[in-house]
Structure 1
Amino acid sequence: MSSLATSVPVELLSRIDLLAQSAPVPPVMDAAEKQALKDKIKRLLQEKNAQLVAHYYVDDDLQALAEETGGKVADSLEMANFGAQSEADMLVVCGVRFMGETAKMLSPEKTILMPDLNATCSLDESCPPKEFAEFCAQYPDHKVVVYANTSVEVKALADWVVTSGNALEIVTHLKEQGEKIIWAPDRHLGHWIQKETGVDMIRWQGHCIVHDEFQMYELQSLKEKHPDAKVIVHPESPAEVVDLADVVGSTRVMIDAVQTLPDQKFIVATDYGIFYKMQQLAPEKELIVAPTGGKSGHCISCAHCPWMAMNGLHNLAACLENETGEILIEEPIRQKALQSVERMLEFSRAKGLVQSKASGD
């Protein structure tokens, strides 16, 4: 099988690091100010027939608001499915830009807003459409499979879009059909999928700045300090970190593991924003953040996405009140990208990987 890959230019990786370091953080508020903003947001959601969709990695307050107002807290696949099924006129997506674009692809008739359109993703940034198109053109006999963490322009180049929750099943299906694939953009997730499925794969060499920083030696040391802890790891992490895991999988898989396994202690290698949902569903469990570069050196994210952190109550209220931060996509691009996203959703619904109708967790 092939594992040829293209390198992401060093200057592009440096730009991504600078973007991450310069991402603004929402202001700190006292309890009264926070409550006033929550009340305002709830009122605006009702007035505008809007629903709030939040990713597991955003601030706890935003996840709680989504749940309290009939919205959705989920991974990117369930966010997309919920938005497509919703009867709201407006969706407000608390996450990163590719999630807002996916919502718009599936619901072009709806107004899709985001608290900050500059909330990007290192995987998205590491896969520029022009360069990726040139790369794909070299392998015309390969199916192009891209991770959901990509721009709408990259999705328009793909045959399939996948998430960490359905990638194994979809790639296994393609392998059974005798297909060879181009995988983009996450090199670690691609490696894990190739190892698990044995598919003939050519990998693009992007990475998530959060998961790329989890450290093997530090994790091994932490395991020795907590021998009774189960290690759960997102497959965007380096292979040597994945190899130390008791459970490997998507955010949904990780949450289910904490909730259902009998163990009382877990070392968690993903964005620590997920702890809100984990503690909500399993309040008696002890959760420990897996070590990043911050334990023994420099790190960019230190286990929390700087772009997810750009979502806050202030800019959420402002985008609702003023209807700013709207996601707009040119229709020809939307139609091309929609084909690969709908193919993913149809496959996932048939396999029971997503719910057929919108509902809460």
Structure 2
Amino acid sequence: MTRVVTLAHYYTQPEVQQMADKVGDSLELSLYARDAEADIIVFAGVRFMAETAKILNPGATVILPDSGSTCSLVTQTDVGALAAWRARYPDHVHVSYINSSAEHKALSDWIVTSRNVDDIIADLYSQGKKVIFSPDRNMGAYLNFQYGYDMPLWSAVCEVHDKFNEAALDEAFAAIDGKGTRFLIAHPESPLPVLKRADYIGSTSGMLNWVRDYAGDPSAVLFVATEDGILYNMHQARPDLDLRQAPIYTGCQCNSCPYMKLNTVDAVRRAQAGAGTVIDYLTPAQMDAARLPIERMLEFSQQRYRA
């Protein structure tokens, strides 16, 4: 009997999440995909996530519901230029964020997610190693600022998180200050001026857990600087809280990933029936090269987080 497993990222629509066998962030879905023993994996996310599932399950058929589901961190990175950049730092460890193409991963020594990037890079530095970081410039700038690193950074950004800005936050905060308590939690793909204002910085699941565990002023306004899909999960976990997406300009709390939203209910249903974009273009050599840094990350995470 054919085993079909459907995975959905937190940034997909609530109706799509309800169709999934597993909903999670990049690390959770990577682990689930590796261990699913599925014949067919339908990945309601973006292309690099489906590629990762294929790399970890080369014998499975992996289907992306919509071929247009990409990521600006991928489209802004020329792999040839990346290889030349890496060659400039032969004595550095190349750490790459999981939001990257299979070809990008194959040029990496370590893959990280927003959940484990702090710990993995700290561990590398504790061993006396030097690091270059790609592709997310904002995440790398945060790590350099927060921990005093001097990592050379690739220059690509998440087009969703990069829209959050300090001026809009100032206006939103001014409307709250003096009238009650407010907090900001933010994803590390956000620009550094925004992250400097945050009360908590963490992965998608980390922010969700922060909201679940929140025990402060029940009337506080909690601003969330990440893609708006996670607000659904946060409202489910804590319907008692005033949760708002951080603004990107005056009056707008409307920051969505257009690529994630291509995973419509109809598209996922078609993929579950075998239609959609099959991830069948990666060669065995490409998958082997990309799998090694991913497996390093997964082994580290399982040991560190007991995932």
TM range (shorter): over 0.9
Could you tell me which of 233, 255, 273 is aligned with 1:277? 233
Q: Could you tell me which residue of structure 2 aligns to residue 77 of structure 1? A: 27
Could you tell me which of 238, 261, 265 is aligned with 1:313? 265
The total of aligned residue pairs comes to 300
Q: 1:151-196: CA deviations, max 9, x gaps?
A: 0000000000001100000000011111111111111100111222
AA partner of residue 59 (structure 1):
Q
Distance in 2 separating the partners of 1:49 and 1:254: 32
Q: Could you tell me which residue of structure 2 aligns to residue 17 of structure 1? A: none
Residues 1:53 and 2:11 aligned together: no
Residues 1:252 and 2:202 aligned together: no
Could you tell me which of 246, 249, 269 is aligned with 1:290? 246
Report the alpha carbon displacement of residue 266 of structure 1 after superposing the two structures with TM: 0.8
Q: Which runs of 4+ in 1 moved over 3 A?
A: 293-296
Report the alpha carbon displacement of residue 303 of structure 1 after superposing the two structures with TM: 1.2
Q: Could you tell me which residue of structure 2 aligns to residue 120 of structure 1? A: 70
Residues 1:267 and 2:223 aligned together: yes
* Seq. identity, %: 38
Aligned residues: CA RMSD: 1.6
Structure 2 spans left out of the alignment, 5+ residues: none
Distance in 1 separating the partners of 2:225 and 2:285: 39
Distance in 1 separating the partners of 2:37 and 2:114: 27
Q: Quick check: 1:171–1:197 contact (8 Å CA) kept in 2?
A: no
Report the alpha carbon displacement of residue 226 of structure 1 after superposing the two structures with TM: 2.3
Structure 1 spans left out of the alignment, 5+ residues: 1-46, 356-361
Map residues 35-184 of structure 1 onto 2, 5 A cutoff.
48-66=2-20, 71-184=21-134
Could you tell me which of 198, 203, 206 is aligned with 2:148? 198
Q: Could you tell me which residue of structure 2 aligns to residue 32 of structure 1? A: none
Q: Quick check: 2:67–2:276 contact (8 Å CA) kept in 1?
A: no
Q: Quick check: 1:180–1:199 contact (8 Å CA) kept in 2?
A: no
AA partner of residue 318 (structure 1):
R
Report the alpha carbon displacement of residue 302 of structure 1 after superposing the two structures with TM: 4.5
Q: Could you tell me which residue of structure 1 aligns to residue 294 of structure 2? A: 341
Q: 1:259-314: CA deviations, max 9, x gaps?
A: 11123331011001001111111121111111114748xxxx94111100110011
Moved more, 158-167 or 253-262: 253-262
AA partner of residue 317 (structure 1):
R
AA partner of residue 139 (structure 2):
L
TM-score by length of 2: 0.94
Map residues 209-228 of structure 1 onto 2, 5 A cutoff.
209-227=159-177, 228=181
Q: Quick check: 2:231–2:245 contact (8 Å CA) kept in 1?
A: no
TM-score by length of 1: 0.80
